[in-house]
Amino acid sequence: MTVRAYSDSELFLKAVHRNTILEQHRYFYIAQRLCDFFWEQNRKHRGVSTPGYPGHYGCRARLRDNKLEMFWFYNEFKQKNDGSGKHRVISHYIPREGKYRYHKRAFSRAHDWELPVIEATEKGFELLRRANADQVQIRKLCQVNEAALFQLACDMDDLELGMTLGLSQPPR
């Protein structure tokens, strides 16, 4: 009976842990769709006749080593020296100063058309960052509880062994 209870608890904790990883992949998918929304708006303003050309900000979402990242960068356009009239893009990562959200001053150089798109995208990113932080916390708690459950099972085994041998204290 006790073995079954430990086994069920362990299976539950592992299932919760797996589901937090699956949920993080869902968040990543949503973050990618937010990036797609941003880049779709950015592409609409790439023509020479479009006001606010070119958009200087960019965003990216990635999931690496069970870590979900959504970040922004500022693109600088330098004209190529080959006479082609083309530009090369130099991207500068923008560090996030807030816990879950970039401060508005990080986007102070945004064009008029860029700012509302950045705000809408960043609002979605903020919600995902908060939800992801909660999922990570749940995952950590599962690991802590699994270790505690293992220790409890070991202690119970020692106690049962001591009772079987007629000892007043469990063996160490």
Q: Which residues of the chain have pLDDT under 70?
A: 1, 48, 50-53, 157-172
pLDDT at 158: 67
Cβ-contact 73, 60 below 8 angstroms:
yes
Helices (H), the chain: 2-44, 114-165
Query: What is the spatial distance between Cα 26 and Cα 5, in angstroms, rounded to a whole number?
Result: 31
CA 24 to chain CA centroid, Å, is 7
pLDDT at 82: 84
pLDDT at 72: 98
pTM of this structure: 0.81
Helices (H), 45-92: none
pLDDT at 85: 75
pLDDT at 15: 95
Mean pLDDT across the chain, nearest whole number? 88
SS3 94: strand
pLDDT at 160: 63
pLDDT at 159: 64
Say how many C-beta atoms besides its own lie within 10 A of residue 5's C-beta: 11
Who's near 123: CB < 8 A, 6+ residues apart?
A: none
